Amino acid sequence: MTHRLVVGVDIGGTKIAAARVDGQARVNAPVTLPTLAGQPFEASLDQVYRSIDRCLTADTSAIGICAPGPLNPRTGVVLNPPNLPQWRNVPLAKLVTERYSLPCRVENDANAAGLAEVLFGAARGMASVLYVTLSTGIGAGIILDGRIYHGKNGAAAEGGHVTIDWRSERICNCGTPGCVEALASGTAMAARAVLRDPALDTAERIGQAAASGDAAANAILEETCDMLSAWLGSMVSLLDPDMIVIGGGVARIGDPLFLRLRERMPKRTINQFAAHTPIVPALLAEHVGILGAAAVMMEP
Phi, psi of 53 (to 5 degrees): -55, -40
Query: In the prediction, which pLDDT does 154 show?
Result: 86
**DSSP run (H or E) holding 51:** helix 41-53
The contacts found for 88-93 with CB under 8 angstroms, 24 or more apart, are 88/41, 90/41, 90/45, 92/48, 92/65, 92/67, 93/65
Which of these, 148, 147, 150, 146, lies nearest to 126 by C-alpha position? 146
Tell me the residue type at 163: T
User: What is the domain class of 5-112+287-295 according to CATH?
Assistant: alpha beta
Peptide bond just before 256 cis, omega within 30 deg: no
C-alpha to C-alpha distances, 296 to 98, 121, 200, 233, 237, nearest whole angstrom? 19, 14, 38, 28, 27
Q: What would the pLDDT profile of 193-235 be if each residue is shown by its tens digit?
A: 999 999 999 999 999 999 999 999 999 999 999 999 999 999 9
**What is the fold of 125-281?**
Nucleotidyltransferase; domain 5 (3.30.420)
Phi, psi of 109 (to 5 degrees): -65, -35
CB atoms within 10 A of CB 37: 21
CB atoms within 10 A of CB 201: 13
- To 10 degrees, what angle do helices 255-264 and 215-239 make? 50
Query: In the prediction, which pLDDT does 3 show?
Result: 64
Query: In the prediction, which pLDDT does 241 show?
Result: 98
Buried b (16+ CB within 10 A) or exposed e, 248-284: bbbbbbeebbbebbbebbbebbebeebeebebbbbeb
Percent of the chain residues topping a pLDDT of 70: 99
**DSSP run (H or E) holding 223:** helix 215-239
Query: In the prediction, which pLDDT does 106 show?
Result: 97
Query: In the prediction, which pLDDT does 2 show?
Result: 59
Residues forming CATH 3.30.420.40 domain(s) in the chain = 5-112+287-295, 125-281
Q: From start to end of the chain, where are the E strands?
A: 5-11, 15-22, 27-34, 62-67, 71-72, 77-78, 90-91, 104-108, 129-134, 138-144, 147-148, 243-247, 279-281
Query: In the prediction, which pLDDT does 4 show?
Result: 79
Contact 135, 249 (CB under 8 A): yes
C-alpha to C-alpha distances, 222 to 152, 219, 225, 261, nearest whole angstrom? 37, 5, 5, 10
C-alpha to C-alpha distances, 103 to 3, 52, 60, 65, nearest whole angstrom? 10, 13, 10, 11
Q: Is 288 helix (H, G, I), strand (E, B) or coil?
A: helix
Spans of the chain, pLDDT less than 50: 1
Residues 6 or more apart whose Cβ sits within 8 Å of residue 131: 110, 111, 113, 114, 117, 123, 140, 141, 142, 143, 244, 245, 246, 247, 282
Query: In the prediction, which pLDDT does 234 show?
Result: 98
Residues 6 or more apart whose Cβ sits within 8 Å of residue 99: 49
Contact 264, 277 (CB under 8 A): no
Q: What would the pLDDT profile of 253-268 be if each residue is shown by its tens digit?
A: 999 999 999 999 999 9
